[in-house]
Structure 1
Amino acid sequence: MGLGAVALAPGAALLSSASKTFGDEEENQIGIRAGDAALLRFAAAAEILEADFWIQYNELGGVQDAEVPGGTGNEAYTEAIEVLDEDMPIYIHDNTDDEITHHRFLNAYLASKGAATVNLNPFRTLPGSSATGSSGKRRLTNLTQLTLDTSWWTRYRSSAHNPDLDPDFIFAQAVPTLAVGQHTAIPRTDADLNHPKFVQAMANTAAFHFPTIEQGGNSLYPSMAQRASSVEVLRILISIGPTETMHFQTWSDKAGNAPPLTALDPVTGVSVTFPDLEDVGQNLQKSLIMPEPCPFLSRNLPRCSIIRPTRTNGVAMGVVKFLTEMGLFIGQPPAFFSFLHQLAREADAARREV
């Protein structure tokens, strides 16, 4: 797969630019350095993917309106979501809207500088949910076969360890069974709605998927910002990044409200258990949602409350690996992964120039 306008079918360009191909050494002469453009392109791709699955959640359990159109809502699923917080549909709607604006802005900014933009539409081939409320549109992401790493829960509660300083330390999972097997976070069909406990398990899974995703963006933007050369590109990254932190803070709080239960997937037979996270010690206590101060930069310095990790080396490729292992892209063809890896390599190759 080349670095120019990559086509899967006639007219289906994944990188588009009216004036040049991606990686052109002249890019910095038309308004943006190649490295900065690569950072923003990867961010745009990540936001397109994020918007895709948030739209799926909004169609079934959010608020469908002119701002975030599509779908008609699913009463049983929405009621299960609201068990965690009655305002969950509004939060889902607003998070969805945020991600849509992020990728639209990033692509528009790239275009304004004469740089290549990102288009993932050729990969909208996954079926998604056919349950009542879904628009039935083809998707980029798969929410029905998730394997979730919820170790961020204990990472942000640990006062002794920071993954940037302790890359081999294993943080405990908040919901160990979500890290094993494949779990659906949305009803696949209306048949899934015939099992009330399983409906709540799907809502609980979604509730932990939300912060699992947002903590990734929480780290991605400050990590990439360290590679930006342009002050304006730096401003973009450090302005979008904190909104991901706001999302993460909200969802990490709501996830703690997931009712304890054990449920069996009626289709796959996979079991999931959501533990009671009340009165279980500092590293699991659900009310401790503020980032615990931890070692930062050096253990010779005082502990500090920070976003972690923020190490910049290989961050883009790490994000692709994280999302792939989550199962978010199950069903996508090899060309999809090749394209994401291409974007990640280019972003990771960016170097700060002064």
Structure 2
Amino acid sequence: MPTSPTERPATPPTVWAARGRHVGTAARDVLLRTLSGNKDDGVIDDFHELPEDAGDGAAGERVFEARWRVPEDVTVRARLTLAAASAGGQEWTLIAEAEAHWELGWPSPAGMFWPDDPDVTWDRDAATGLRMRGLNTLPDDDKAVRRLLRDAGRHSWLIHVIVHEAMTPDHRGRVPLVRLLPPSLRHRVVEHRAAPQQLRVVNWALEESGVQVPRGGAVVLPGSPAVPDAGDLSVRTVFLDGTEPAELIATVTRYAALERPLPDGAEAALTALREEWRLLTLVEELERERKLVAMYAEALEAMTQSRDLYREAAERAGEALAALRDSAGAPPPRAEPPEQRPTSPLRALTRGLERWKSASASAPPAPAPRDESERES
């Protein structure tokens, strides 16, 4: 596991990232219904679902793209990847990038894809299974508390806040504090509530994180890897009486604005957003075609130059070889006879017999033997 922020690239100031889980079925239908409604209402400019076989994604994975504009006509592009269904639901990863520095007052990208209906349980943290839009009471078992906070600090993409209830609050204190955060943080923060008697257990579980919860206060988990210059992440007092916890909101907002490394897996999601984006406007499509034409023209020019250079080099090599032969007075090389076709054994035998017959016919006749009587005289 990485132990320093330098081991992963920093989150660009233009990027918003979150990862969660939709509990239940029909997550794709919920996404399409929400995106269609937001487009009809003018909340987003356009959206697109990529074909199922597009890209190199895992089997059963779906990808949705959406584009909208925020104040000052800044365009935001977002890509949500929905994993295949499993027993615990469907995990989703959402990366959004703006054309300018991200402002916390802008709408949450998660609200562009998912409905604000509290009955639709899309807002589960992928690492802990806890809700982003509600209160999460810590478990009673001490070891379970430690496991939960360890997973929250090490594996979650979200910001986790632990609030200690000095005494059991009434209905006014049971309102989730995340609703009071800036819009872009409302789907990036998970609020834990520790009962009055759990203070010692919580601080025991937080020892390895290097932070502690004050009695009746709150603390922001530093995450992993921790940001060195995060400062004091604890809030000494949080009044759970319905009043706005200004100090806690300021601490969470300050921590969210810090430069932090990209979460594990976010770099690949950001690269896919930038390099595999398909929801193009007409102007963007024309610009892309111009770039392709320019790229092909450059490639053709490079090939032509390579061909000309090769031809010129071959000509120079031939001239140098001819000059070398002239200076040495060497006769020109004999042309090699063309390669003959192989003949079959029968045809070779026939040709041999024909040559033998021809040689026999042209040979002079042998002298006739002399008579014995001529030899004696």
How high is the TM-score relative to the length of structure 2? Answer: 0.26
- Which one has the bigger strand percentage? 2
Query: Highest Rg: 1 or 2?
Result: 2
How high is the TM-score relative to the length of structure 1? Answer: 0.27
Structure scoring higher RCO (CA < 8 A, sep ≥ 6) equals: 1
- Which one has the bigger helix percentage? 1
